[in-house]
Amino acid sequence: MSYKLKLPLITTFIFDIDGVLTDGSVMLYKDEVVRTINAKDGYALQYAAKMGYSIFIISGGDSKAAKTRLLSAGVKEVVLKASNKVSVYEELKRKYNFTDQEVLYMGDDIPDYNVMSKVGVSTCPQDAAIEIKDLADYQSPLKGGNHCVRDIIEQTLRVQGKWFSAEAHEW
């Protein structure tokens, strides 16, 4: 089944950080780890949240700055240092009462594989690991950190008729 046929059911987005919201680069500056998140991805996250979608982050990394930024964009919960992403996913599902079919997940590497196997729509950036590309329902033509998150959020909201409306931009 084409992934676009599943997009009308999506109410919840879950993203990884490193390699999805970022290009996977980690800059070391003094005692800090610095990552870059694309502004277009940030806008799409904020827009989707304001349109009523639930957005979560599950990351094996530990970036308090990224967590703060993502929460300010409307992400409901950011789970860092997730060593078992499936157990985090199952806990979020119980806590926020959503079903697998309602979830679109974007991951890029092996730790995302098992969660991607469970969700309604599994997606990845163009530069994801081959195992993830083979599993994904949709592979963005864009690399991680290069607005692949915007790509899939925009596609989902367009299919649902929620991407652009004049009243949505009068926040």
108 is in an annotated binding site: yes
137 is in an annotated binding site: no
Helices (H), the chain: 3-6, 39-50, 64-72, 85-96, 113-116, 130-135, 148-159
103 strand-pairing partners: 12
Distance CA 59, CA 37 (A): 14
Mention every residue, 6+ apart, whose C-beta is less than 8 A from residue 49.
55, 73, 74, 75, 76
18 is in an annotated binding site: yes
CB-count burial class (<10 Å; 0-12, 13-18, 19+) for 32: exposed
Which residues line the annotated binding site? 16, 18, 108
Which residues line the annotated binding site for substrate? 18
Which residues line the annotated binding site for Mg(2+)? 16, 108
